Structure 1
Amino acid sequence: MARERPKAIRLTDRASEHLRAIMARSEGKVVGLRVGVKNGGCAGMEYTMEYAEEVKPLDEVIEDKGVKILIDPKAILFLIGTEMDYVTEKFSSGFKFNNPNVTDACGCGESVTIEPAGA
């Protein structure tokens, strides 16, 4: 019997509620949320998020709590085990990535150093 593959990313209830509300208000054809990483920032990598209007052939497609998440195959190893949350603090609110693969972060929290899972 094959065991289920772990999800690269999972959502908290707060994140899924916020994402469903945002996508319901979006204009155009939105099939899900595209999440990835790119080189940038003082710590080396930044998370990316954008509306996905189509599923690309090599996308990893994850459905969690009513939200479809699409991940570029190049980002999978950097995101395995990540929990995406939505936090509201005294002066700001936004999405927060709790990623077990992060080895360092910049002081402002905008960029991180990520080791691929299993490295």
Structure 2
Amino acid sequence: MVENNLFKNGDWVQGKSRDGELIHGFVETVSDNREIVRVNVVESDNEKAVGKSIWIPSKWTEKLPDLEISNEAHLLALIDLALLSKDETWFMELSGKLESIKIHPKITARKSEVQIPGNRIAKLDFK
């Protein structure tokens, strides 16, 4: 993993545990010397690690890029996660984004999502 000592609470990361397990989760705590981080494991190749918090060296961890979530269903799922993790700041941030989407919805329909009722070709007479 690329060494990255710029972690802060709430950052999504992936990496390896001390036992070599692949993990994906979010940073709960960064040590004072920034050499180790406590990660709440959301996904892992070791099912027993999921849902637990583990300390791992920051050099074995890589910060994942931030994603811009603008889908209401995804925001609702993240709000549930913020409530479960008791992260009030994240909850307020996500709630604000959700309210913004409800007030100013974007038109995101693609050509493939537009459905035309009926079959236009069936109305043509090729005889």
TM-score, normalised with respect to structure 2 = 0.22
Instruction: For CA contacts below 8 A with separation 6 or more, give which structure has more relative contact order.
Output: 1
Report the structure, 1 or 2, having the larger helix content: 2
Pick the structure with greater CA Rg.
2
Report the structure, 1 or 2, having the larger strand content: 1
